[in-house]
């Protein structure tokens, strides 16, 4: 094989792997996700959750984010982390009949939504380069394996995107999946807490965004290795001809 052929093969390997990794990162990072730092929140306890909201519209900015809570979850307390330029409103709704919460206690009024609204001059900018994180704590958490927390994203051009589709077991991820959080079984003390993430550098390692970044970085590293292999082959070929 000629030296030029070796170089071409190395460049093709680097470009193919690197581009594939970056494309995977772009696709995976588009969803609204719910992330937890550290151990999983426990059923019957309290958990800290961070909702990561990226922008998807090329010519519109995100100005409102609504997170919905199922009444049957009987979550009676939700607190939010203040964000400069955004207001938040927690809505509690009387239940038609008492519902048992994760601790087995009757709840007659449950949190059904929290709405984050951007103030004038604040927004998640248009295009695909910005995102915002909204941190909350919630409890008592229900006795379910997975919390499904639909999100509604509103843009300043009036368009609304509902992230509310539940992925069926074994099926492909839907176009607009609802944010979800896995809950651990109760340990008995009911005092499980997880830390709220406040920036991209402290988000959950299990989040789709972080996985996408890792894949993108891995693609670039493998691509660089491909170039190194190609360069090494060129040097060996030259030595062999001397």
Tell me: the pLDDT tens digits for 158-200? 999 999 999 888 889 899 999 999 999 998 654 444 444 333 3
Mean pLDDT for 22-50 is: 78
Please tell me the predicted confidence (pLDDT) of residue 189: 55
- Residue 128 pLDDT > 50, yes or no? yes
pTM of the model: 0.69
Tokens of 120: 């004038």
- Residue 15 pLDDT > 50, yes or no? no
Query: 60 and 124 in contact (C-beta within 8 Å)?
Result: no
Tell me: the pLDDT tens digits for 48-75? 999 999 998 999 999 999 999 999 999 9
């Amino acid at each position: 094989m000629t030296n030029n052929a070796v170089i071409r093969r190395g460049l093709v390997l680097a470009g193919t792997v690197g581009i594939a990794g970056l494309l995977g990162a772009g696709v995976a990072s588009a969803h609204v996700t719910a992330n937890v730092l550290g151990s999983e929140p426990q059923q019957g306890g309290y958990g800290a959750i961070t909702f990561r909201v990226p922008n998807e519209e090329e010519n519109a900015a995100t100005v409102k984010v609504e997170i919905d809570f199922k009444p049957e979850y009987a979550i009676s307390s939700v607190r939010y982390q203040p964000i400069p330029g955004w207001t938040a409103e927690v809505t509690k709704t009387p239940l038609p009949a008492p519902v048992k919460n994760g601790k087995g206690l009757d709840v007659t009024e449950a949190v059904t939504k929290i709405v984050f609204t951007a103030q004038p001059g604040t927004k998640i900018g248009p295009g695909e380069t910005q995102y915002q994180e909204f941190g909350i704590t919630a409890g008592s958490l229900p006795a379910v394996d997975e919390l499904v927390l639909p999100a509604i994203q509103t843009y300043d051009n009036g368009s609304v995107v509902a992230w509310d589709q539940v992925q069926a077991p074994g099926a492909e991820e839907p176009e607009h999946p609802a944010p979800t959080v896995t809950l651990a079984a109760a340990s008995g003390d009911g005092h499980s807490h997880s830390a709220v993430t406040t920036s991209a550098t402290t988000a959950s390692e299990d989040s789709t965004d972080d996985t996408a970044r890792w894949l993108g970085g891995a693609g670039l590293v493998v691509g660089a290795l491909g170039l190194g292999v190609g360069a090494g082959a060129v040097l060996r070929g030259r030595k062999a001809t001397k």
